[in-house]
């Protein structure tokens, strides 16, 4: 994660890095990111090739693109490991600069699944320059520059959306060619949403299932129906269970190779996103938690 004195210029209601947050400034979600001078970081670069993926998470501040480009060039001088950048909406020419420097995947986070919710938690109502339409444009530009399969967004469940809205968002992103990394809302002290609660686990499991089946091209919109805003599936249970039997649906999602351990969950708490392959028993429990086939 990039570092600056102070906080991010954006003001996302759930984020410890937000401009108006009073959280400990080394946090992102529930993880602490201690700051190191760059030479200390570079001294450890020999470990980079052992990772499946490297990800640079950037805050929003003037000229952050220069910091990110510097890091990308430095990393590329030692390894060709897949390299993701998670960043705010950029101009197409800056997206191209990242691509030319060796970034393989780009993430631009919507976080909220409807325009109204977006404005409320990270846009206009938060005094931030983020706008739904600008995020949409940036994702489209990113698709032009990086191509389908290399552009990701984030969807956070538990911000006040309905399950149906979350599922509609997944289909919209699928149609655009953008893959979705799922996050469970995590209340962090000092943020505007510090008193919030994590999402209902059954609902989270169903959204995970839909995300996974969509990613595998196993369902279409007509395969869904909704009961009181909760999603249900029409195709035969046996067929869909087969797609879920690997447990991948319930693991951390986003770019290939990312496991983001315990980002939203305490190791002893509700395991919204498993950071490693699930045991057969965990797969069965997770499918049951979805409540799709009582």
Interface contacts to ligand SF4, rule CB under 6 A: 8, 10, 12, 15, 17-18, 59-60, 88, 122
Minimum CB–partner distance for residue 2 and ligand SF4 (Å):
9
Minimum CB–partner distance for residue 40 and ligand SF4 (Å):
22
Q: Which is nearer to ligand SF4, 15 or 231 (CB)?
A: 15
Minimum CB–partner distance for residue 7 and ligand SF4 (Å):
7
In our burial notation (b when 16+ CB lie closer than 10 A, e otherwise), range 13-42 reads bbbbbbbebebebebbbeeebeeeeeeeee
Minimum CB–partner distance for residue 191 and ligand SF4 (Å):
9
Q: Which is nearer to ligand SF4, 61 or 243 (CB)?
A: 61
Q: Which two tokens stand for residue 78?
A: 């030692």
Q: Which residue, 274, 258, 263, 259, is CA-closest to 205?
A: 274
Q: Which two tokens stand for residue 200?
A: 């209902």
Q: Which is nearer to ligand SF4, 92 or 154 (CB)?
A: 154
d(CA 153, CA 176): 11
Minimum CB–partner distance for residue 60 and ligand SF4 (Å):
5
Minimum CB–partner distance for residue 166 and ligand SF4 (Å):
18
Q: Which is nearer to ligand SF4, 88 or 260 (CB)?
A: 88
Minimum CB–partner distance for residue 126 and ligand SF4 (Å):
9
Q: Which is nearer to ligand SF4, 190 or 291 (CB)?
A: 190
Q: Which is nearer to ligand SF4, 1 or 285 (CB)?
A: 1
d(CA 294, CA 292): 6
Q: Which is nearer to ligand SF4, 130 or 274 (CB)?
A: 130
């Amino acid at each position: 994660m990039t570092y600056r004195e102070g906080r991010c210029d954006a003001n996302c209601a759930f984020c410890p890095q937000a401009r108006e947050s009073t959280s400990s400034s080394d946090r992102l979600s529930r993880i602490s990111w201690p700051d190191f001078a760059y030479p200390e970081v570079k001294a450890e670069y020999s470990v980079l090739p052992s990772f499946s993926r490297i990800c640079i998470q950037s805050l929003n501040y003037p000229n952050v693109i220069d910091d990110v480009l510097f890091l990308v060039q430095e990393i590329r001088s030692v390894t060709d490991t897949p390299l993701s950048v998670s960043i705010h909406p950029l101009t197409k020419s800056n997206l191209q600069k990242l691509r030319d420097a060796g970034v393989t995947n780009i993430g631009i986070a919507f976080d909220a699944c409807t325009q109204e919710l977006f404005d409320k938690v990270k846009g206009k109502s938060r005094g931030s320059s983020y706008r739904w339409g600008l995020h949409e444009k940036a994702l489209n530009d990113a698709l032009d520059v990086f191509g389908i399969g290399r552009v990701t967004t984030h969807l956070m469940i538990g911000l006040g959306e309905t399950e149906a809205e979350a599922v509609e968002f997944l289909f919209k992103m699928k149609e655009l060619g953008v893959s979705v990394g799922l996050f469970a809302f995590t209340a962090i002290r000092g943020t505007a949403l510090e008193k919030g609660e994590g999402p209902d686990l059954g609902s989270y499991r169903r959204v995970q299932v839909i995300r996974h089946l969509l990613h595998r091209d196993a369902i279409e919109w007509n395969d869904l129906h909704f009961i009181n805003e909760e999603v249900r599936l029409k195709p035969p249970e046996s067929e869909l269970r087969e797609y879920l039997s690997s447990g991948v649906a319930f693991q951390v999602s986003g770019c290939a190779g990312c496991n983001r351990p315990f980002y939203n969950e305490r190791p002893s708490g509700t395991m919204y996103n498993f950071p490693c392959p699930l045991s057969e028993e965990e797969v069965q429990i997770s499918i049951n938690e979805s409540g799709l086939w009582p």
